[in-house]
Structures are given as C-alpha cells and as structure tokens.
Structure 1
C-alpha cells in the first residue's frame, strides 16, 4: 500500500480519526490552531527559541526526563526480608539459643535467616525496572532550531517552544505540534497498540483523549517511518504522553501472587502455633517446678521443632527449578512467585499482533475480475497461484511501491513489503521489474486522495497494449474505484457499468468483513503525454486490474494452544489497540470466535460504568476489546480481579506496561516487545508465541502441586520432632531428639528429597480440568490431616519406639529411665547412661529419616497410589541416596557425632529401622484408599440429593 495510508484508506476498519473528545490540558490547545498560529501560542518563533530563552525555560520547567522511581533503598529491602513474622520468630529462637549456651544452634538459625533474606532481597532488586526502561526509550540527542538555525542538543535539554526537526528514522523526544509535514508517517504502536504506521500532518485537529491519537501531534516515543517534519514542542518529561503512562505504570500497585499470600498465611499459622506451644510448655514446666533454664530449653525445642526452617529456602529453590524448566520452553520468569500464580490463572487478556499473529503482513488473496457476471470472491487466489491476470496485478503493485528489495529494505511500510513479497511468490523479481519498467514520474500518496500513482515505461510484465508510458495507481479500493471507467477481465478490457461496479463492491465488502486490508490497483495507457501531467489528470479513466487482500497470519499452533486453554478452563479475552474487524478476523482464524462472542470498541468501553463492565465480563461468552487505551486495558484487568479472577496479561508496547504491572501475571514479548514491557512483566516469552503461555500455565499448575507435595513431606516430620518434647512433659523422660538433631533433619536429610519433589514432572491430566479455585490454599485442612494427623503420627510412633527400644535393650524400663532423667538433663549422668542416651537419640533420628524415605515416595501424588506412578526420577533417587548417606555420616563419623550428640548403632538395629520406609508407604496407601472410598461415596450420594447448587 502507498506510504501514508491508514487502514481506513486501505478499505479495512476505520483508521485513526480526529476524535472530538476534549481535554483539559492547556498545552494541547495548540492542536486546534492553524499551523501559522502555533508558534506564537507556544511562546516561540518559526526559527525557534534563542539559547537564553531555552536556558530560562529549562531552569523553570525542568529537564526533559522522566522522574526517577521511588524505590526502597537496599538497606530497607534487606531489613524487610529479615523482619517478617517467621524471621522474627527465628531471630528470637537464635537469641534464646545463645542465652542458653547453645551457640551452634544459634548460629545455624541465623544462617537460615540470612540466606532467606538474601534470596528475597535479590528477587526484589530484579523486579521493578519499568521506569528505568522507559527512560531508556528517550533518545539522547535531538535536532532543533535555536536562534533561527539547526542545532543538535541533548534530548534532556529540549524545552516547550523548541522546534524539532524530524526525519525518517528519528524518534520523537517530546510531545510536539506538527507545523510542517511532507509524507509524514509515525509508528506510534508503543503508545497505542496500532499495528501500522499512521499519517500525520499539520492540519489542525480537535484535542483527542490521548495525544498519540491526534493527527497533528508527534508524541514522545514515536518513530518517524517516512517523510520529514517540523514540530513545536508543547510538553516535555513527565508532562508528555510517555510520562503519563510512566506515572500510571509506577503508581499501579503490583498484585501479590497467590503463593506470596499463602506463604504469608503459612508463616502466620506456623508462628502462632510454635509460639503458643513454646509458651505453654515453658509455663507448664515452670508450674511443675522445673528450673527456669530447663523450661527455657524445652520451650526452644518446641519452637524449633514446629518451625520448618527449610520451608522458605525449599520454596525458593523449587520455584527456581521450575523457572529453569520453563526457560527451556522459552518462558523466562523474572519474579519467582509468578510461576505458581500461573497455575491459578483463569483469564488471559492477550493482545493480537505478535502474540496470536505473526506480526508480519502477507498477501492472502489476489482478486482479478472475470468475464462480466462471473466474478466474486471465488475468483480469489493466493499469490503463488495467481494466473496471468493476477501476475499482471502483482507486477503493477510491485512497480507502484516504495519499499526496497529484500526483507530489510529502507521502507518500514509493512504493506509495501508484503506486496513485494507477493510479487516474488508469483515468480516476479522486483528488481527485474524495475529494470524492465523504469519509473518516469510519481505522485506520492496523499491522505486526501488516498492514492499514489507512478508513470513507468511500458514493458512485458505489464502486458501493455501500447509502447508508451503507463500510469499505475494504487490505493484504497473505494478511492481507486471512483476513478475507474474500465475493467480488465480475462477476455480483455470492458467498460465498467453499474453491474461491474457492484461486483467489485461485493468482493470488497466480503473481504473487508474478514478483517483483511485491501489494496486496489489500476492502470492507464495514454502514451508519453502522461509524464508531464499532475496527479489529478493522470488518475482518470483508469482500468481496474483487481484487489489485493492482506492479512497478519495467525501463528502456527496458536489454535491448538487456545483449544488447550478451553479444556483447562482458562478464558481468553483479546484486548488490542487495533481495529475491531481486524481483531475479530484473527479471533475467527484461530478458532476463538464462537457463538456469543462480541466486539467492544474502546469508546463503548469508556462509556460503561463499573457495574455494567463487570456484568459484561461475567455474562459474555467471549470478548474482543478493540481500540483500547492503556487506561482502559488497566481498567479491564482490575475489573476481572474484582470479580475474583486471576489474570494474566500479554503485551509488547509501552502502552501495555500499566496492565502488565497490575496483572497477577504480566507476560511480555521477548523478541518484538519493548524494554518497558519486559521490565513491567513477570514472564517474558522468548519466542513471542501464545503456545508458550499455555506451557507456562501448565508449569504453574505443576508448581502448585509440587509445593503441596514437599509441604506434606516437610511438615510430616514436624510431628515426630515435637513428640519427644511432649513425651518428656507427659512421661518425665529425656527428649528423644536433640535440637541440633532436629535441625539436621529439617536442613539436612529432608532438604534434597523435598527439592526433588518440587521438581517432579506434571502428573497426567493436569491440564484437563479447570484451574484451582483462587481461595484454595497451598496448606489446607486435607494436607494438614495427611501430614499431622496420619503420616506424622506414624513417624512419631516409630521415633519413640526406636528410642524406648534402645533403653529397654539396655535394661531400662520406664521407671528406671525416669530416675536417670534429671541427671541426663543436667549433663551429670554417668558415662554409660550418657552413651545409651546418645544411642537412643541416634535410633530415634534414624527411624524418622527412614520413615521419610517412604514418605517421599508416598508424597509424589496426593491421590494416586505410589505403586501406579512411574519410577522415581534420577533427582529423587539421588535425594534419597543423599538422605541416607547424611544419616550414616551423622551416626558414624566422630566429628559429626560430637556435633549432633549421636553414637554408632548396632547392625541388628538396621533391619527394624529400614522397615520404617515400607511401613510408612503402606500407611499412606491405606490413607489414600480411605480418601478414595469417601470420595466415591460422596459422588454416589449426589444424584439422590439432587443437583448441586
């Protein structure tokens, strides 16, 4: 299509109009003024400001820069990471440990807090970079007129009243009113989402809702595609459209992820439980006359046993492992907690261009008129299948074309590039065409004519009937058709009567209704007299060659990905800055559009009150929002969130940054996306493919399931860690575990198997059902009953049985053990008794670890029998091996024996200890069988109760 044509001029949906919406911003008043009056209104001259005037304005108004972000200092970030409830609890436990002369325990707890804090602070430091990326979009230099002459100045020193000198390839540094323009076209996609360059001129226009929509404005951040211009700056820095979006993005509070909320809830629950039990044990022992230091020791033991010290690092490392897995599937995650949130996503607000489509226009159909009365849409073919008439049409379109040959030619107009590619597909070499038919004259595209024309020397590719020059006219179909008096059909040339004109319009309407962009091509063969005449005289009595329909094709595999979303219960809403017809055509092409879907224009969206908008979102089968502004896209995200949905938003431009930042999960494009979008997002698609989003959702669901798996595994061992201290209070016996032995389990033997559970592959059927309810907790009653009420009790029984078995074998019954307990607690027991105690605690420790081996195999699935699952992977097998190896090292290596208070176990004890693993696995199978049976009974009762409400 000729340069400067909007999509309306190409016959598709309406292009950017000069909206009449008013604005209160006084700076935009210059938009409605005639070009000669603009300079005076903005306090400048045609030759620009003087250096003194520019300096004074710079001092008064400020630099042309976006304001720096308000971010927490590194010290405040670090402080926040080590002062949350669980950290405070661990700090208190560490302090009590130092006060109780247990420095090893104190330093171990401090290390846990510091590592957790460092990981959290690092993640926060990576997170909020949107404003820095916006600043990077601002060019460093700009050409302005100062004192009547051109000068190049730093972009930050441009002030209102400066006259910008713009040329092809320049990026606009400030919002400016155009006062002179020649064939000017701007790429404003970063601000509006419009997929094609738009025309800009110096004619006055009414102030629109956004400066980027004004046809006489050059907004900051736009790029000059073609032409040249002069423009007077009326807004700089934070007062520009780019600055407004920056404020919107940074003022938008990021929604916390579901995992962040749930981990905070787990921390509060565990903290309250640990403190409550610790205080209760301390008070109970003190009431019964125990010494103060002894009561304090046991209270610390209860607190340490209740706090899963490895929980936060395990969650962090598990999320990081899933991030690596997703990166292999071309999804790069910048915020770890977003991985889990993806699993709860039930609404995806996706843009069209580049996500659902290839973001590359291509010629889809070539229509040439047939013999009178036999035309119609069925006569359309692709460029590779074009007949002689179609090849002639494509040859003419390639000659009336300002794109350079090759994929990286000088013209950025995507339609001109697509026409050249179509000619090549039809076996027409553009360079050879131009040599055979050199251009003699041209009338560039004009927005009022909506046409361009060239005069070329006739040659064989055009199959001209005359040896003289030939005029080729290309433009919007209706604008070309009004100048046509003849039609070139398969039999020759015939007059265009009313029936012929109606035939062309029928084809036009049928193709335009599919959202295709249309170009009409016509010729005139009048000999050499054409070369010296003006455009109006040349563009008369034309012969229509046909129409070319262009489309941005859907990405390969996007249809299957959308079908997967439907099966998974994830609703997809298209939100685009492009036109409604084009967006609908894409929705139809990818199989998304079905009965009940509707298109809502941005202006209609603007008119909806919040209750009406929420009703629309809930009641509609499917929605396409077209021509939306950044504020409207942000409004949609918030409306969905108010309705209880977990929202993922895709985007690639500056205009998408506020919505990306506010969404539960922001998804930016890695290839075509801007730095702004990538910095505001949580996930970056390295291949810009919607299918990757579906893979990311599956990864999120897998992460949620895996977090529950390792939570069940880690929390189960809390019960046998608490049981020794409860037995101590109830039975008046020494604790079956030392505090450092508890830490050896939580931070040593349990850690790698827990991480292996976090890296488990997805279970079959994970994407065959709806996402989990937003309110479903990672740590719910079902998981607590399994960990604390069943498997934990089994492990606690094994732990205490092993402990008492060692004493019984040594000849100590309950009474005898109670008799030596005071001496053991005071560290004054005879050496033989102390040795037996160390052996007994070693047996209790070994029993718990062996039970955890069976537990880790049981926790691979919440419902499915472990016997039906695939064999454990290498990581899980390695975790079990390391778990057993660490146990043996703690029990048999003298340095570790001294640290953890253990002693070697006799060989006869190991068969009984190793039996703990299958016993725990068997107990879990019994529990799963009970749960499955209860579920079947409930399902069986539903029909008798009637339908659920």
Structure 2
C-alpha cells in the first residue's frame, strides 16, 4: 500500500493526500501508471463465486422431464429389457449434454457482449484529461466525476461542486449525502467520511475531481465482495411457462402410460412385463425430449441477433417480455434525433420577430470541423457566455480532416463549436476568464450558472471584476431576469446597455422563443450579472443577453420505425424535458404526430402549427387536437384523469417532464394493463427504467446508473433499434410456439401404434427405440431450425400479444393433437397396414399373427415383414415431419409467402431427416439395433405422399383461417388493410 495505516487519507489535506500517493494535481505519468498497474493489478472486483460446471451439468439430469425418463429407464430394467433401459438413459445423457452446452454457450455470449460497453472514466494522465477503461485505474490517479457516474474506485475528494453521493449500495441510505474536500479530524468509515467516495457509489448531483487511493479488491466494496454469493434470480415468465408445459406433458404421459398398462393387462391379455414395456413406450412417446434444449437455443440465438443489431440484453427474461410490449415511452434527444446538435440560429434583443440564421444550418458531428457561424462580433457576448457556462471541451488535433474533437454533452459541444466558428479562441478565453464557482444544472431548476473572474473585460458594458453567467431553459432564465441588453445604446464591442425588462420586452423574447421552437430547435437562453467581490453566486436579478437555437435532426430511419410501431399496434409516446413546441415540431417531422402544413420553410422546419396543450386539466387534454401535454398540465390531472387521457390517445407528446412525472406516466400505463418499454439515459431516469416492464438504457450517452437499472442497453442510442428488439422478442415467442407444435404433432403418430394395438389387437407398429430415433435422431435438428427462424414478414403486422398468454394454448393444442398429429398417425398406420397387405396379409390375418410377434415366437419371415412394416411406419413419420416442418413456419401464412432461404438451419434440418432415416435403414448394425429392414420399393410412393398430404392439409386449414380473420377484422376495423397484415385476402 502507498498509504500509511496510521494516517488515514480522510485526515490529510488535498496536498498531503497527493504527496502521500506520489501524485500531483494533473495526475500520474503514463509510465508511472503502467508500473503501478503491474504492481496493484487491474481495477476489477473479485469474481463472484459461481456454481461449478459439474453442478450445472447435474442440473440437466434432475429436472422434471429427466426424472420421468429416469423412472422409465428403471422400469425397463425391471421389465427385463436392459437394452431399452440403457437407450432411455442415453437419451437423458444426450439431452443433458446438449442443454448444458447451449447454456454454457449462452453464458459465454452474454459475458462477451458485456464487454461491448466497458465502463469508462475520465483520468488525468501526463497533464491531459483522457478517457480510459475503468480497469486501468491505479492508486494515485486523478479522475473527473459528474452526475450519473459510478465511482470506479475508492477516492479522496480534491475539488467538489455541489457534490452529492448516492451511497445506498453500501448503507441503504435513500437520500444523497453531501461530499466536500475538507480534511476530517476523526476516523470514520469510508461510507461515512464526507471527503471520501467509496467504489460502487454513484454521483447523484454535482461534479468532482478525485484522487484514487484504492482499487479492485483493496476497495471497501471489494473486501466484502468475496462474501457475496451469486444472486438467485426469480424465474422469468418464459421459464414458468416452459415449466408448466413440462408438467402438463408429463401428466399426459403418465396418465396414458398408466391407462396403457391397465388396458393391455386387462383387455389385450399381455403379461405384466409386456404391459410395462408398452406403458414405457407410451410414456417415452409423449415426452418431447428436444423441448428444453430448443428453448435454450432459441433464446441464445435471439440474444446474439439482437447484439448484432446494437441491443445488448442484460436480462434474458426481457427477450420474452418484449413480445408483449404495447407502449414505448421514448426520449427525444439522441433517441429520436441524431444527437448531432449544431447551432442554427441566434436572437438578441432588437433582432426582430425572427431569429438570425447561422450561415450553416447543417452543423457537424462532434468529430468534425465547426460549422461556419455568424460573423465575429455579431453575437460575441452571447456565444462567449454560452460556451463559458458549460462543462464540455474541445480538443484541437491539428488540421484536416477533423481538427476538432468535442467531448461532453452534445448541446454544450455544439455551443463550443459555434463559438469557435464565430472567431473566439476558447482556450485563451478560459485562461483569461477563469471559473471561480459553479451551480450545476439540474432537472428542477433547468439552469446552470458559473461565476467568472471577469477582470474588467470590456465586453460587458460596465466595469466589473466578477461576472456570473446563467444558461438554461428560456422561460426559467427569463423569470430570473429584470433587465436586458438594449442594442439601441451599444456599449464597447457591441455588448449593449442593461435596461429594465418590461412586459413588451418579455413578450418579444417569448415570441422569438416560440418561433424557434416551432422550427424544431432546442432553444437556450443566456443571462449575466456583475457581482461584488464578496457576493455569492445567485440566479436572480439577471440581465437577459439572448437566445441560441440548436437543431438536432431526426435520426435516419426513425420515421419508418414509428410507422412500424403503429402498424404493430404499439403506442409511441414521446417524453422529453424539452419545450413543448420543440418537441411538437420534431414529433411531426418523424410522423409521431400528423405532419405540419407546408409553409415553405424547408425540409427541417416544423412549420407553423397550433400551440400544444397548455390549458387546464382533463377537458383541455381531451379536447386538444395536437396531443402535446406539458409537465404543468400533467400536475393538474389526477391519476384517474391521466389514465383517461392515455387510454383514448395513441399518439402523445409529454414535454417539460420532470423525472418523477415520467415515473408517474409509466405507472399510469401499467395500471391500464399496458406492457411498457421505457428509454432513459440519466440518473433521474432510473426509477422509470426500473418500473417499466422493459427498461432500455442508452449505451453511448447513458449513465452507468441508467444502464444498471435497464434490461437492455441500446448500443447506438437509436429508436429504430427498439423496434428491432421488439421484432426479435415477438419472434422468440412465435418460434417457441412453432417448434412446440412441431414436436407435439409427432407425439400422436408415436402413440398411435400402441393405441392401435389395444383397440385393433394388432402388433405394435413401432418399438420404443424407434420412437427415440424420431425424437432425438430425426426431429431434434429440424426443431432447432424452427427455433432459429428470423422474424417473419408478419411479425410486426399484428397487435401485441396479451400479457400472460399461454405458450401452449388451446389453438396450439388443437392444431398439434387434433389436426397435424392425427393426419400423421393415419398416414403412418396406413403405411404399416399397406406393408402387410403387400405380402397378402389383411387385418384379420394380422390379428392372428399378433400374439406370436408379441411373445417373440413368430417365424423368421413374419418377423422380417414386421421389421419392414416398422421401417415404413417410421419412414412415413419422418417424411410427414418434413412437411410438418415447413407447415409450422407460420400459424396462418401460406408457405409460398414465406422467404425460402432466410434460415439455413431450417433447411439443414429438413435435409437431415431423410439422411438420418437412410442411415438407420442402410447401415446393418443400426438396422439390427433398431429392428428395421429395407422394404419393397413400391412403398416409397407412400413415403413421398406423406409430406405432400401434410402440406396440402395445412395450406387448406390456413386458407380457412385467413378468410375467417379477414371477414372478422374487416367488419371491426374501418379503412384499407395494413400492409403485411392478415386483413389482406391474398395472404
């Protein structure tokens, strides 16, 4: 350790703390940091103790379905058929290995994806501020922290501006606590010391410069981490539903097994041993051995696909919940817009009703060159004040192609770029006018203020040593002003003279603000106030300087994504802290609200539109045609009134919303039974993210707190990615239904031979080993192919499914057990009887041969025919399953309307079925083990007919379903059918 245990760091002054750690105000050198990294190791917490791979593997041997097969295998040994017992137990082992491998791969995938967004921290190295991975921190590093940041290591505060820390993770304290750099005289715990920042806590408000003194396992958080066991997560809805399916199928299997045993013992005349063997056959035939690994694979594939489309899934349960999302509450800036803010216009007193356009409205990305702005001196004080009252910074990297790199909030970086474009040398200005004090921005005041050492700079009309600058929302800034700079009596450098701000002047400011907002700009106001040397920084009696209009264009593809949500029956609600008219203009441009009339202002203009809802209460909310509701309006609505508004309005914009209002809105939607997805990026969004059914945090500009509270992180901060995640969530749910249908349908022809044996008194057409050959030999890979189906063309054309809707519902069971399954059973048993008929043996003669075949005393030629008939039966089931595989790709859409080659795994499964059957029949060793024999070529036609019959029958059923849906929905919904929806008759 670098520190002495006798001198705790909390008791040292800032200079002493830096000296004790061998550091300085500008941090460590890169060379020294690398040496310390080798000495102390990476800044990582000890790994949580996890269950061993062996224990995870045994989990696959102990679930409900596995226990059922263990019992079936044991009964086979008791019945004197050890080869059957070993075969059943082998199924358990194969299933366990496959399920374990899929779970292992899924965990590895999630672990790899978690590295997509490594936690970053701003560190002073070699005298410059750099952004590095948090695991590179070493004792002695000096870091910068601001609101929303996780504290990455144990730190000593060096400088603080209105700093408040959330220490709930350590103490459970719900309220943030203040922190400052003053040394302490008494020894306190790290979490209680007012000048220490423990690792794992969060900056709730303000900013700080801090000195790292402990990293990794040496932090207070790290010292208790090794005592923390892995969190036991409650099962997701999907896990509960799959468990319910397993229990249902197990109950069916056990009931049919018991019924078969009793019936064969009492009515067929079998002995107890033979009856037990056939009961085992019934049980095995009803157990879908491939169900659990297929569910695991479907989720794993969905997570990987979503990651490729910039959505990082943090909780697997969210994948299934996405399929039921019915409301998306989304931010505006950076989510619906491109987050490429640039100065578009300025307005100062005396400029007239319309703002002065910047020379370049298009702006630049933070990595590009500053846009060409107004002529130097025209808005010198306005842009200077806006730039100095910000915490962003520009880094100069030389000339072309990208001489400037902006770091910080996009709004503030745009102001800095505009100031540079206006000819201001910001580096020189910062040196000449150093900051003395700061009141950071918060969502309640909507203001930020700084106090500068002005040094009688002539750009303020009167000589002053100290000048405060306030930047923020125009209405809030204007409320703090009692004067403005009168351009009619200009002072030095054109700054103007401060005169009283009367009602006409305030009206002019409001008119300019509204005009800029209607054009879709984000408007900020700047005000100043000279202060006496001893006066504190305060936000009152300010002098209004002017307005700046920043434009953030809508993201490419957002309009299409909004339209896709509306087609899918998903309500999209914009929730923003921006001004109502600005939010309304952007909402119209992206299609969330009706488009504006053409007023000739250009493609980026919101046009001249009626004001949003700024009236009182429910009457105004329900009557407003524009559907823009401000935070003040929301406060005037009771919870019942709010639910009425959101229930009957599908396209809404909530503007000037505080964080607690966003949470209230989410709760109101959930109270109506909606499944809500919420986007957020800040600390204040965490309550709404946690309250939502699916929380979506921003990956690029989101805070660590928001990411931790969310279920999914949008790596690209793009609304279109939300639509993509919903598509994949719906597809996962649909895919699981597809392969459940496919698997259950094959159970019916597997059970049919034993039922026919009881009812018709004929030999069983299949053995238990042959059933297992279908379930794990030919059906498993095709089922996995259905689980890997990409979202289909109809995925977003239907409304969201109802929350809690069962996976294995009545329509699915009817389709599998009473339609697809019986057709396969009839074809399979028909093939069995046709084989005997081919050799001149009718049903009556077959009944006479049954006892000898049952007791293994039949002649060799009869046994040979039985093996051929079993081969035909097995082949028909395999062939029918090939048709069933293609039929199960959609519940209602024709096969001809589906993309043919979008899923290679499906076609691999389709090809694998005849290949696997060919190996069983063609390899002498396998044929003998499974009691199969080559059959006459004349019967191949029956096998070829099976998939055709399955497809034709299913196409006929789908046609009836589509027509019924068309007539039902057409009568209930006016207007033309939506593209790609089941309303289209041709579908």
Contact 2:468 / 2:528 at 8 angstroms: preserved in 1?
yes
**5+ unaligned residues in a row in structure 1: which ranges?**
1-43, 52-64, 142-157, 159-163, 192-196, 204-211, 231-236, 525-529, 944-949
Find the counterpart in structure 2 of residue 924 from structure 1.
954
Residue 880 (structure 1) aligned with residue 910 (structure 2): yes
TM-superposed CA distance for 1:897, in Å, is: 0.7
Find the counterpart in structure 2 of residue 376 from structure 1.
353
Alpha-carbon distance in 2 for matches of 1:940, 1:225:
57
Larger CA deviation: 724-733 vs 340-349:
340-349
Find the counterpart in structure 2 of residue 266 from structure 1.
245
Alpha-carbon distance in 2 for matches of 1:494, 1:681:
49
1:676-703 superposed Cα distances (whole Å, 9 cap, x missing partner): 6556654332222121010111122233
Find the counterpart in structure 2 of residue 109 from structure 1.
91
Residue 322 (structure 1) aligned with residue 310 (structure 2): no
Using CA pairs below 8 Å that are at least 6 residues apart, which structure has the higher relative contact order? Answer: 1
Contact 1:474 / 1:480 at 8 angstroms: preserved in 2?
no
Alpha-carbon distance in 2 for matches of 1:168, 1:931:
62
Contact 1:252 / 1:658 at 8 angstroms: preserved in 2?
no
Alpha-carbon distance in 1 for matches of 2:885, 2:210:
69
Larger CA deviation: 325-334 vs 386-395:
386-395
Contact 1:253 / 1:662 at 8 angstroms: preserved in 2?
no
Contact 1:362 / 1:418 at 8 angstroms: preserved in 2?
yes
Contact 1:575 / 1:633 at 8 angstroms: preserved in 2?
yes
1:285 to 1:658, Cα distance in 2 relative to 1, 3 A: farther
Find the counterpart in structure 2 of residue 285 from structure 1.
264
1:841-856 map, 5 Å: 841-856=870-885
1:728 to 1:872, Cα distance in 2 relative to 1, 3 A: farther
Find the counterpart in structure 2 of residue 97 from structure 1.
76
Alpha-carbon distance in 2 for matches of 1:907, 1:179:
86
Larger CA deviation: 799-808 vs 104-113:
104-113
1:190-269 map, 5 Å: 220-222=201-203, 256-257=236-237, 259-269=238-248
**5+ unaligned residues in a row in structure 2: which ranges?**
1-9, 18-43, 124-138, 170-175, 183-190, 212-217, 362-370, 397-402, 441-447, 472-476, 594-624, 974-987
Find the counterpart in structure 1 of residue 943 from structure 2.
913
TM-superposed CA distance for 1:804, in Å, is: 1.4
Find the counterpart in structure 2 of residue 819 from structure 1.
848
1:935 to 1:588, Cα distance in 2 relative to 1, 3 A: closer
Contact 1:352 / 1:583 at 8 angstroms: preserved in 2?
no
Alpha-carbon distance in 2 for matches of 1:712, 1:179:
61
TM-superposed CA distance for 1:710, in Å, is: 2.7
Alpha-carbon distance in 1 for matches of 2:667, 2:47:
26
Contact 1:488 / 1:545 at 8 angstroms: preserved in 2?
no
Alpha-carbon distance in 2 for matches of 1:700, 1:849:
31
Alpha-carbon distance in 2 for matches of 1:575, 1:294:
69
Alpha-carbon distance in 2 for matches of 1:810, 1:582:
85
Residue 304 (structure 1) aligned with residue 284 (structure 2): yes
1:381-408 superposed Cα distances (whole Å, 9 cap, x missing partner): 4574535664545664488577454499
1:305 to 1:617, Cα distance in 2 relative to 1, 3 A: same
Alpha-carbon distance in 1 for matches of 2:388, 2:935:
91
1:405 to 1:544, Cα distance in 2 relative to 1, 3 A: farther
Residue 520 (structure 1) aligned with residue 500 (structure 2): no
Q: TM-score, normalised to structure 1's length?
A: 0.70
Residue 733 (structure 1) aligned with residue 762 (structure 2): yes
Residue 420 (structure 1) aligned with residue 428 (structure 2): no
1:297 to 1:494, Cα distance in 2 relative to 1, 3 A: closer
Find the counterpart in structure 1 of residue 659 from structure 2.
628
SS at match of 1:222: strand
Contact 2:561 / 2:719 at 8 angstroms: preserved in 1?
yes
TM-superposed CA distance for 1:441, in Å, is: 5.2
Corresponding pairs, count: 826
Alpha-carbon distance in 1 for matches of 2:634, 2:344:
31
Alpha-carbon distance in 2 for matches of 1:695, 1:907:
50
TM-superposed CA distance for 1:600, in Å, is: 5.0
1:81 to 1:238, Cα distance in 2 relative to 1, 3 A: farther
Contact 1:554 / 1:586 at 8 angstroms: preserved in 2?
no
Alpha-carbon distance in 2 for matches of 1:429, 1:315:
62
Contact 1:190 / 1:653 at 8 angstroms: preserved in 2?
no
Q: TM-score, normalised to structure 2's length?
A: 0.68
1:825-868 superposed Cα distances (whole Å, 9 cap, x missing partner): 23333222221111110011111112222222333332233344
SS at match of 1:737: coil
1:22-101 map, 5 Å: 82-99=61-78, 100-101=81-82
1:257-286 superposed Cα distances (whole Å, 9 cap, x missing partner): 3x3343233222211211111111111112
1:324-723 map, 5 Å: 324-336=304-316, 338-351=318-331, 354-357=334-337, 362-370=342-350, 375-379=352-356, 381=358, 384=372, 386=374, 390=378, 392-393=380-381, 396-397=384-385, 400=388, 403-406=393-396, 416-424=412-420, 426=421, 428=422, 430-431=424-425, 440=432, 442=434, 444-445=436-437, 447=439, 450=449, 452-453=451-452, 455=454, 474-476=469-471, 478=478, 482=482, 484=484, 486-487=486-487, 502-503=504-505, 506-507=508-509, 511=513, 514=517, 516=522, 518-520=524-526, 546-550=546-550, 555-573=555-573, 588=587, 592=592, 595-600=626-631, 618=647, 622=652, 624=654, 626-628=657-659, 640-641=669-670, 643-652=672-681, 663-673=692-702, 678=707, 681-723=710-752
SS at match of 2:202: coil
TM-superposed CA distance for 1:726, in Å, is: 0.5
1:471-494 superposed Cα distances (whole Å, 9 cap, x missing partner): 987434559965655326999787
Contact 1:178 / 1:201 at 8 angstroms: preserved in 2?
no
TM-superposed CA distance for 1:216, in Å, is: 12
Alpha-carbon distance in 1 for matches of 2:825, 2:278:
18
Contact 2:489 / 2:497 at 8 angstroms: preserved in 1?
no
Alpha-carbon distance in 2 for matches of 1:642, 1:95:
51
Contact 2:344 / 2:357 at 8 angstroms: preserved in 1?
no
1:89 to 1:124, Cα distance in 2 relative to 1, 3 A: farther
SS at match of 1:862: coil
Alpha-carbon distance in 2 for matches of 1:179, 1:937:
70
Contact 2:345 / 2:356 at 8 angstroms: preserved in 1?
no
1:283 to 1:366, Cα distance in 2 relative to 1, 3 A: same
Contact 1:721 / 1:737 at 8 angstroms: preserved in 2?
yes
Find the counterpart in structure 2 of residue 807 from structure 1.
836
1:884-938 superposed Cα distances (whole Å, 9 cap, x missing partner): 1111111111122123221112322212321222222222233233434555666
1:384 to 1:186, Cα distance in 2 relative to 1, 3 A: farther
Larger CA deviation: 829-838 vs 469-478:
469-478
TM-superposed CA distance for 1:554, in Å, is: 5.3
Contact 1:226 / 1:411 at 8 angstroms: preserved in 2?
no
1:92 to 1:558, Cα distance in 2 relative to 1, 3 A: same
Alpha-carbon distance in 2 for matches of 1:438, 1:913:
84
Alpha-carbon distance in 2 for matches of 1:384, 1:356:
26
Contact 1:438 / 1:457 at 8 angstroms: preserved in 2?
no
Find the counterpart in structure 1 of residue 976 from structure 2.
none
Contact 2:829 / 2:873 at 8 angstroms: preserved in 1?
yes
Contact 1:225 / 1:413 at 8 angstroms: preserved in 2?
no
Alpha-carbon distance in 2 for matches of 1:542, 1:274:
80
Contact 2:481 / 2:543 at 8 angstroms: preserved in 1?
no
CA RMSD, Structure 1 to Structure 2 (Å): 6.0
Residue 895 (structure 1) aligned with residue 925 (structure 2): yes
Contact 2:451 / 2:466 at 8 angstroms: preserved in 1?
no
SS at match of 2:659: coil
Alpha-carbon distance in 2 for matches of 1:344, 1:849:
35
Contact 2:634 / 2:642 at 8 angstroms: preserved in 1?
no
